[in-house]
Structure formats: C-alpha cells, structure tokens
Structure 1
Amino acid sequence: MRVLSKSRFKLGLECPNKLFYTNNKEYANTKNEDSFLEALAQGGFQVEELARMHYPNGILIEGNDWDYQLLSNQTKELLKEENVIIYEAAFLVDGLFIRTDILVKKGNNIELIEVKSKSFTPDDDYIFIGKSRKMLAGWKPYLFDVAFQKYVMQLCYPDWDIKSFIMMADKSKKASIDSLNQLFRISNKEDNRTGIIKKVNSLNETGNSVLGRKNITDIIAEIELNKHLYHSNLDFKKSINLFKELYKNNEYANWPTTFSACKKCEFKSSNKTNQDLKSGFRECFSKQHNWKEKEFNEPNTFDIYDFRKGTKLFDEGVFFKKDLTEDSIGLKEEAEKLTTSHRQWLQIEKEVNNDDTIYADIEGLKKEIDNWNYPLHFIDFETSTVALPFNKNLRPYEQTAFQFSHHIYYEDGTIEHANEYINNIAGVFPNFEFIRALQNALGNDNGTIFRYSHHENTILNAIYVQLLDSNEKDKDDLITFIENISHSKRDSTIKWQGERDMVDLWEIEKRYYYNPITKGSNSIKAVLPASLNSSKYLKEKYSKPINEIKITSKNFSKEHIWLEIENDIVKNPYEMLPPVFQDWSEDEIEKTLSEIEGIADGGAALTAYGKLQYTDMEQAEVDKITSALLKYCELDTLAMVMIFEQTLSRKVCKV
C-alpha cells in the first residue's frame, strides 16, 4: 500500500520530485550514508519517554510498523473510549497515514502533542513566527508536519476539537536530580518489547521536569488558511493532494529545479559507494534542462564556496562557472587576506581553466608563522549536547566535552602524540575532568596552540560558564586556564582574550591559502586529502611506518603506515581507519547492541558516545568503541599537523 505518510509529506515539501526517488532502490540516497542523521536522534528517545510520563497510563501502539490498516484499526478501538491517552496513535484515510507522538482524548476534545528533541525558552514569543510575522525557516518543516497530522485526524473525526502542541526541552529549567539522562536506557530487545528500559515509574521520580510545551493551535490554523505557504505556488491542501497522487502513482512531479534545493539534493550518486545507482539529480536536469553528458561534466555553480548569489544567478539561467564574471559574483579583494568573493573567484577561475596550482600568500603566511612559539600544540575536541542533563542544576542541551586529542610539533620536526582524554563511563558528566586533563596537557610550556574552526573556543566558553556555577574547589584555577588559551564569545557578559589564545588553522587556511582540489571547502575532511595529494613531501613521509618518521602514537602500532597511495593518488586516511570490531567473529558482531561499524567522522563519533551513554552493552563492546574513538580523534589532530606541514610550516615555499 503506497500511502502518504508524515515523512513522505515532509519530503514532498522539500521537493515533490523526491517522492519519485524515495524508497526506490535504483536511486542513490546519500542521506542513507550520513551518520549525522543517526547522531541527531541520540537522546531523542529519552525526551519521548519522559514526555510520555507527563501523560501517564497511556497505551502504546507498537509493532507491525508497515501494516497501516492494522495500526489504524487498533487506534479506532481505543478511541471508542470516552477518555484515553494513546502513544503512537495511527490514522489511515484516503491514502494518507500518520502516527501521533501523544494523543489525549477527553470526549471530543483532543490534544495532539508532537514531541521533539529540540529546545526552547518559554519567554521567546518569536520562536516559530518572527517579528515580521513570517514563519522561521528552521521550524517550517515541523509545523507543517503537525498541520498534516491534524488534517488527517480531522478527516477521520470531523467533530473533534483538536488543539496542537509541541513538547520539547525547556532551557530555562534545571535538573533537580543527578543522572536524569540515565533513567531511560536501551537494552537487548529480547529482554523487553521495545528495547527501552525505564528506571522510574512516575514523573515525580524525575524531579522537576525539564520539558515544556508550546501551544501552536493558532499557527496550525494559519497554515490551514494558507497564511503561511511552504511553496509560494502551492497551498496547504493542494500540496497534500498533489503529494498523495504523485506517491501513489509513482509519478515524477517535474517540479522546477532550484539552486537551494538541488544543491542539497540527496539523490545523487557518488564516485565511491553508490556509483552503480541512478542519480535523481541527473534525471531532473536531463528532463528539465536537456542536459547531456557535456553539461554534467561542465563545472557548475552548486559547489562554489558560500555562494549566496547562487539563487539569483540560477533563476537567471546561469548554471556554469564559465558563465560567471567578476561583476556577477561581486568580487572584492583585500590586501591582507582572501575575501569570500576572492576565494570564490579563485575556485571559479582555476576550475574553468583546469588550473590545479595552489594559491598561497607566502608573505602573509610568514607573518603568521613569525608569531608562533615552539613547541606547537594541536588539539581537537569531541563533544555532545544531550537533551536530558547529566547532573543536578544542569540545563538541557548543555555542552558535554567527552574527548580530546593532543599532538605536539617540536622545532626539529619531531611529532609527539602527547595526550588524550576520553570519558566512556555512562552517566558521568566529564567537563571538569576534561578541562583538568587539558590543563595538564597544555600547561607545561608557552607554545602556540592550534584548533581547527570555532568549535574548541565555543566549548571552552561553555565550560567557563559551567565552572562559574559550580562548587569545584579548583574552579578559579581552571577558569584562569580557560581565559589564558581562549577568548570570550561576542555575546559574553565577561570579556577576555588570553595570551595563548588558540590560533585557528581554519581561519589561516581561508585567509592565505587555496588548494583547487578542495573544491572550495575548508572542512578538514576536504583540506587533508587535498594537502596530501598536493605534497610530495607528505606522500614520501607518511607512506613510511610510524617508527621511521619521528612520530609517536598512542593508538597505532609502530609499524602502522598512514598513507596508501595508488596511481599517485592518496587514499583518505579517514577511510583507512579500521572497523570497530575488526577482529571479532560474525557471531560476536551480531550480538552487539551498538550496531556501529566504523568511526570516521564527527557524526559517527557523536553516535558512538551516545551509544556508550544510553546502551546497556557488555564491557568488551565498550572497550572496542572506546578504542575506535581514540583512533579517530588521534587522526583528527594528526591531520592538523599534516596540514600545517604542507601549508603553513617553514617549508611552505618548497613543498
């Protein structure tokens, strides 16, 4: 049965053409490969379980997920009661199917409660609708989702008076008990039906709830009246009918292409994992713009770095880099740095002219280098924001720093993997232990400290605030340390900039350097392979075993070789990280609860930490995940060292 569900309705809102490609095994779908999607859900099940405790004695409809008729019939039976609370109530009508998180029925008065693992502050009157009375883009999909649920419910029960709410974490509230986030855990499904274990029986046992709800009934009514449109040429009810027919008939919508939607389209085939699958992106441009292989091979505007003029130019029919001019992108050049438009123009020019030479502002780089003190320190943090707090007096979604890695680069070229820290113990709030370990790692000299992008500075600011509210005996010493190696955020009420304020390698890359292989990206995952493939020095050095190249490692053997080179192309070191359960049998892997295969990006690391926190796995599985996290984080700081060696070291003119 092909029915329009909530998820398919939301997909149709993004682009109706996606309804043709979704769930079609012939088409590539990069979202299926994106570990960040799983990471975003971490802790969401806890918010859902806590939300249900606000509405006790509810009946959960579970199992038989694809038997829409059975689920609908079960719901109908329960709704015969005058008063009832249902979790995951199901409604099927006229080719439409939805499930509600929580439904409260008192006669014909209905509360539709959507639970989201997001956060809000109660006094924010503009959380959904801005001061200009426009719906905020970030909330649009969620609000239209609730409107769709209400529409389907109303079709089934026209006499119902439905009020709509969103329930989520309230950032104005603090936990009143310790280990709130350990009250809901995942266990083996053989032990219970859902795989979720609740360690409490009533809301009172959770202390002061950190959840709250916002009444969105009026906003849903405005959506129904088309005061808020998702697409300017498609009203709410028409969108439902259109999407339903498209999906039911497996029909291509021929919805017009746009710069923003097509740039983010997940139905693309890559050169690696899904090259044998069809590309929905290619089919849209073949059908709508008559693109042939020549056009698909022509450098287009979608991958231009931070290209805010892309939408306007796309609407004017400008799709390819060769058709851009300095005026059309608004080129602005400055003597002291690469501006955004200058980087864009470098990317455009070099790709159009097949110029793979590196741009480097040697003088600017040398000025930066002259300000650095050896030994050089490279640090990387792995962090999480958990919905339910670890400890009493913490708020929802406070920053949690669970891991760091630290490499030292000495003036003679020796590289030491000097320190690392990880918290793998469930229910332990690690931030103060983390900052003590970081102080011990960095406090032995006055060498320059490097980070990559803003993240580490943001985390140190968050821990700073947590320390101010804490009773830690050494809080003043730790606060002084943070002030020494960081700077205050722009909106901070307390201002500081430390003598050893971390140097942002990402900013230096942006200001003084451009490698065409990166395609405009400044992500370390793009810059590292570009640096390796552009440097004979790095290829020669890191294709040798660790013990031959003046480098140490805490997680890899002395015989480990970082680079694999084939046809003079370097394989990305992140792709060479070993599987988590590399030496386990298939039977042993089958029994794992984490279901983690590898950790090669930040999303996978975040997912792994979530599994360590919320899953009742055996210690052997914990140890394997911990080992994989340590290897991944070590590579992150070594990647910074490699980029430094190729781009920013005193060898910069030679390599």
Structure 2
Amino acid sequence: MNKIKLSKSKYCKCVQCEKILWLEKYKPECAVINKNEAIIGNGKKVGELAKGLFGDYEDIPYNEDLSVMIEKTEELMQDKPNIITEASFSYDNNFCSVDILKNDSDGVEIYEVKSATEIKPYYLDDVAFQYFVLSNLGLTVKKVCIVYLNNDTYIRGKELDINQLFNIVDVTFEALEKQDEVKNNIDMINNLMETQDKDNEPETDICVNCLDPDSPCVFWDYCTRDLPKPNVFDIFLMKKDKKFEKYYDGIISFEDLENDDDLTTPRFVEQIDFELHDREPKIEKEAINEILDSLSYPLYFIDYETCQYAIPEFEGTKAYQQIPFQYSLHIIQEEGAPLEHKEFLAEVDDENMIRHFAESMINDIPEDGSVIIYNNSFEPARNREIGEMYPDLNDEMERINENIVDFMVPFRSRKYYTKEMEGSYSIKKVLPALFPDDDELDYSKLPGVHKGDEAANAFLTLNEQTPEKQKEIREGLLRYCELDTYAMVKIWEKFKEVTNED
C-alpha cells in the first residue's frame, strides 16, 4: 500500500470524519471556509508565549520541506537535556511537530499547547497521534501534557505571569490508552484513500461529529445537499443529538416532523407549523404593551461590540474576557423628540480602553431613563465586570443596569413570531422578518462589517492594516454598530404600530 502523508491535524480531521481527506483532495471547491484571522492570530500568540514556560529553548523554524525540520530536530536531540519547540518527527509517513518537547537523558515529555480554556475531546486524539509517532521511532515518552489557558483563577496584574496564565494537565494515561485506536485509524485512512478514487466517493453518512461546535465541518453543505429544505437540522435550538436521532429514523423533512407524534416541544411544533402552513404573524399585544408600558423617557437604545484577547492585554482581565471597545447609542429625550445618535469606538492601542468606554457611556447616559438593549445576558454582564474592575464607576454601572429593558423578550418567548424568523429570535432574523426588503435595515448592504464576529475580528487586526485601510475599517465598524441600535428604534416603532392596530 502506498501510504499517504498524514499530519496530526489531518489525522484529527479524519477521526471526526473518515472521508475528509477524500473531500479535500477531490472536492475542495465544495468547502465553505470562514477564515477568522483573529482566531488564527490568537493561536499563534498563545503558542509563541507558551514556548517560554520551561525557560530557554531551541526553536525549529517552519519549512515547507519537512525533512529540513526533521534533520534539525535530530541534531538538537543530541544535545540533551534541552527544550525544543516545534520538534518534528516522521514515522511511516506520519508527521508531527511537538509544540514543546522536554528532551531529557532518560526520555522525552510532550507538551501540546492549545489556545482554549478547557481540554476538548479531540485534543486527546492529537497527543495520542504524537505519542504514536515518537514511541514508534524508539523514543521513551515519559509524559504527555496538554497546556491550555486558565481563565478561571488567573486575573492579570500589571505584568503578565505566564506560569499562572497556563494550566498544564498530564494526559499520559489517556494517550497510552488510545494507541491501538491510533494505529487502526491510520490503517483505515490509508485503506480508504487507496481504494476510493475521484469517481468513487466513500459512502460515509453524516453524523453528530459534523456539527461539532469546536470544529464544524466545512463540507456540511455539500454532504447535506440532497436533503429537503428546510429539514430537521433547521429546527432552532433542538439539540444536535436529537436532530440526528430523527435523521437516522428517516424523519427529515418538515412534513415528516409534522407527522411525528414524538415531537411535542411547543416551539419546535410551532416553527414547523408556521413554515408549512404559512401562518399569519403571531402577535400577543398584551405582552408587547407590557414592554412599552415599562419604558420611561429618555429612551437610550444601546448596543456594545466586544472582542476577546486570548492573552489578557489589560490589568484586571482574564483570558478571553469580553472586552467592550465600541457602542452605539440612539436617544429619544421625550415623546415626539428627534432621534439623536452618539457613539464610541476605542483606539486599538488604548491601555485604558475599558475605562474610557465606560466613562464615555456614563457621560452619554446621564439621566435615569430606559436603557434598551437586545439580549439581557450580554450588556449587563459587561457593566458588572466594569464595576468590579473600577469600583469608583460601580454605582453608575449599577444605575444603568437597573434601567435596562430587553427587547428580545417577546421574540424569545414567542409572543411575537413570524414564519420568516425561522424559529430564531436573533436580531439578524427578527429585523428582516419585521421589515422585509428594507435596504436601510439590510446588514448585507453595510460596508465591510456585517456581523459581530466580523466586528471583533476587524478591531483586533486593525494594527495590521495601512492607515487608509484602518480609517475604512473604523468607518465600517461605526456604521455596523449604529445599525444595531437603529434596528432597536425601528422595533420600538413596530411595537407601537402593532399594538395600535384595530
């Protein structure tokens, strides 16, 4: 058998889906790839920082010719004890680079660095593959560890303490237990690629792994192309295990689901019913009036944009803490008053970004009126975090929180629902459902930034852009966030309209 070249990343993909390499080789154009530069950048920064965990180290620079990396590793391995980063090995066409290798006189220790805050199941496949390669090369692997970020107990002080920032967990036993599995998986992968050519696609059905939130498959659309639309996978908030249970039972289309006596969850039944029978909008006026009656002027419609630094950049913050860097604020001072707009967008190099954000917001919301948001779990949490970081601002942050009104409530509780919402209560679904074909409220028409993760990514990568591009991106960020709060104004107007109808 002509064995394929298998890296640890390819191996982990194949554990998730055995035909992924076939798809990448013969159907690459069918992949839907959403490349997030900020996530990639976070991973690189974490990896570089972790290299210093055990003191001085020798680094193996990346080379497209992997043999160069392997030869350099062999050379450094002779100079033990030492620490080698990106130590590279190949056994029987199976290649891996070890993030941190402790090379001792009596054996080696493997340290796999992850830019996450917990150990995910497929990390064990990753380290088990490395153990397989190194042990089959005759190396004594004394220990296998996963290194990941500690955002439970470590809060950054003035200086970053990498020994507290990282957790190190020994998973040697788990890696050892998986050795037979690794060998069998490698044999399976090689056999599949040897026997299946471009005209002979492997008959591998979709499974729960395809929707793994940590590594969703880029070929999902391709592999589900023949399913009816909509289908069971479009049911909002149904657990993925339940979706696949229905799928394997042949209950796939909405028609199938409507006739399924076991499907009794009211919100699922309602989504299916509205879709199949084109129901009129469901509007419970009493619930809408409850929201309207709770409002008091001035009305402050506000939305935050946040980003996450894997390595905490600011004193008093944790890894991956949501850092507010922008807000948009629409204001109606009194009934019939014109709509005002205020906004804040931090400078990306501002070390006091969070405080400046809060001070600006406090200044722009000086009175006790209704602070209108969309999703009560987000902005109030950021306000509490700010109050904890800056005790002198805590009273003002609490004042703002006490005045919050959540416009998501009637949509989340299905007191206001239309077919076009497709079961969701996200503002990105609600807005076009309430205002179809309104270009003014169309996020896709915005310049550059169209959704929250794009906003965070744009801000985090600003320093990598030219001054001209930075100006363009900042303008895109402002327009995006402004639409979020203008959307809430329009929803408020819609609430008044539907409750005043006869």
Q: Aligned equivalents of 2:311 and 2:229: distance in 1?
A: 48
C-alpha contact (below 8 Å) 1:57/1:85 kept by paired residues? yes
Partner of 1:150: 131
Q: Offset of 1:209 from its aligned partner?
A: 5.3
Partner of 1:420: 343
Higher relative CO (Cα under 8 Å, sequence separation at least 6) belongs to: 1
Q: Aligned equivalents of 1:23 and 1:415: distance in 2?
A: 59
User: Is 1:464 paired with 2:401?
Assistant: no
For residue 436 of structure 2, give the secondary structure of its aligned residue in structure 1: helix
Partner of 2:230: 299
Q: Aligned equivalents of 1:10 and 1:446: distance in 2?
A: 53
For residue 328 of structure 2, give the secondary structure of its aligned residue in structure 1: strand
Closer/same/farther in 2, CA of residues 76 and 637 from structure 1, 3 Å limit: same
What stretches of structure 1 of length at least 5 have no aligned partner? 121-127, 129-138, 181-205, 226-234, 270-278, 283-290, 332-340, 469-474, 487-497, 544-561, 564-572, 579-597
Partner of 1:240: 186
Q: Equivalent of 1:320, from 238, 253, 272?
A: 253
Partner of 2:268: 344
User: Is 1:510 paired with 2:357?
Assistant: no
Could you report, residue by residue, the CA deviation over 1:296-317 in whole angstroms, capped at 9, with x for unpaired residues?
Answer: 4453111001113323322322
Aligned-residue sequence identity (percent) comes to 28
Partner of 1:311: 244
C-alpha contact (below 8 Å) 1:20/1:247 kept by paired residues? yes
Closer/same/farther in 2, CA of residues 304 and 414 from structure 1, 3 Å limit: farther
For residue 163 of structure 1, give the secondary structure of its aligned residue in structure 2: strand
Q: Aligned equivalents of 2:229 and 2:22: distance in 1?
A: 26
Closer/same/farther in 2, CA of residues 52 and 237 from structure 1, 3 Å limit: same
Counterparts of 1:369-384 in structure 2, within 5 Å, are 369-384=292-307
Give the partner amino acid of 1:300.
N
Partner of 1:576: 445
Q: Offset of 1:431 from its aligned partner?
A: 1.8
For residue 645 of structure 1, give the secondary structure of its aligned residue in structure 2: helix
Q: Offset of 1:328 from its aligned partner?
A: 3.8
Could you report, residue by residue, the CA deviation over 1:282-329 in whole angstroms, capped at 9, with x for unpaired residues?
Answer: 3xxxxxxxx6xxxx4453111001113323322322112212248745
Give the partner amino acid of 2:175.
I
Q: Aligned equivalents of 1:484 and 1:346: distance in 2?
A: 38
Partner of 2:50: 51
Q: Equivalent of 2:224, from 274, 281, 291?
A: 281
Q: Aligned equivalents of 2:218 and 2:464: distance in 1?
A: 34
Could you report, residue by residue, the CA deviation over 1:342-392 in whole angstroms, capped at 9, with x for unpaired residues?
Answer: 322121112223x15322222221222222223432211111232323344
Partner of 1:61: 60
Q: Aligned equivalents of 1:262 and 1:616: distance in 2?
A: 32
C-alpha contact (below 8 Å) 2:50/2:162 kept by paired residues? no
For residue 324 of structure 1, give the secondary structure of its aligned residue in structure 2: helix
Q: Aligned equivalents of 2:66 and 2:4: distance in 1?
A: 10
TM-score normalised by structure 1 residue count: 0.68
Partner of 2:435: 532
Give the partner amino acid of 1:301.
V
Q: Aligned equivalents of 2:171 and 2:338: distance in 1?
A: 56
Could you report, residue by residue, the CA deviation over 1:169-190 in whole angstroms, capped at 9, with x for unpaired residues?
Answer: 3343343435x5xxxxxxxxxx
C-alpha contact (below 8 Å) 1:424/1:622 kept by paired residues? no
What stretches of structure 2 of length at least 5 have no aligned partner? none
Give the partner amino acid of 2:172.
T
Partner of 1:276: none
CA root-mean-square deviation = 3.0
Give the partner amino acid of 2:387.
Y
Partner of 2:15: 13
Partner of 1:387: 310
Closer/same/farther in 2, CA of residues 281 and 413 from structure 1, 3 Å limit: farther
Q: Aligned equivalents of 1:297 and 1:219: distance in 2?
A: 41
Q: Offset of 1:643 from its aligned partner?
A: 3.4
For residue 100 of structure 1, give the secondary structure of its aligned residue in structure 2: strand
Q: Equivalent of 2:399, from 468, 478, 484?
A: 484
Closer/same/farther in 2, CA of residues 85 and 253 from structure 1, 3 Å limit: farther
Closer/same/farther in 2, CA of residues 373 and 392 from structure 1, 3 Å limit: closer
For residue 158 of structure 1, give the secondary structure of its aligned residue in structure 2: coil
Closer/same/farther in 2, CA of residues 398 and 313 from structure 1, 3 Å limit: closer
For residue 99 of structure 1, give the secondary structure of its aligned residue in structure 2: strand
Q: Offset of 1:406 from its aligned partner?
A: 0.9
Q: Equivalent of 1:254, from 203, 218, 232?
A: 203
For residue 173 of structure 1, give the secondary structure of its aligned residue in structure 2: coil
User: Is 1:215 paired with 2:170?
Assistant: yes
For residue 118 of structure 1, give the secondary structure of its aligned residue in structure 2: coil
Between Structure 1 and Structure 2, the one with more helix by share is 2
Closer/same/farther in 2, CA of residues 244 and 413 from structure 1, 3 Å limit: farther
Could you report, residue by residue, the CA deviation over 1:223-272 in whole angstroms, capped at 9, with x for unpaired residues?
Answer: 337xxxxxxxxx44322322344346666442333356369543255xxx
Count residues in correspondence. 490
Point out the more displaced range, 102-111 or 308-317: 308-317
C-alpha contact (below 8 Å) 2:370/2:405 kept by paired residues? no
Partner of 1:649: 496
Partner of 2:218: 266
Q: Aligned equivalents of 2:162 and 2:290: distance in 1?
A: 56
Q: Offset of 1:525 from its aligned partner?
A: 2.0
C-alpha contact (below 8 Å) 1:110/1:161 kept by paired residues? yes
Q: Aligned equivalents of 2:104 and 2:209: distance in 1?
A: 44
User: Is 1:173 paired with 2:154?
Assistant: yes
Q: Aligned equivalents of 2:44 and 2:363: distance in 1?
A: 37
Give the partner amino acid of 1:281.
T
Q: Equivalent of 1:607, from 441, 453, 457?
A: 457
Q: Offset of 1:219 from its aligned partner?
A: 2.5
Closer/same/farther in 2, CA of residues 212 and 409 from structure 1, 3 Å limit: same
Give the partner amino acid of 1:449.
I
Counterparts of 1:107-186 in structure 2, within 5 Å, are 107-119=105-117, 139-155=120-136, 157-171=137-151, 172-178=153-159, 180=160
For residue 43 of structure 1, give the secondary structure of its aligned residue in structure 2: helix
Q: Offset of 1:654 from its aligned partner?
A: 5.1
Q: Offset of 1:620 from its aligned partner?
A: 4.1
Closer/same/farther in 2, CA of residues 250 and 439 from structure 1, 3 Å limit: farther
Q: Aligned equivalents of 1:258 and 1:280: distance in 2?
A: 10
Give the partner amino acid of 1:241.
D
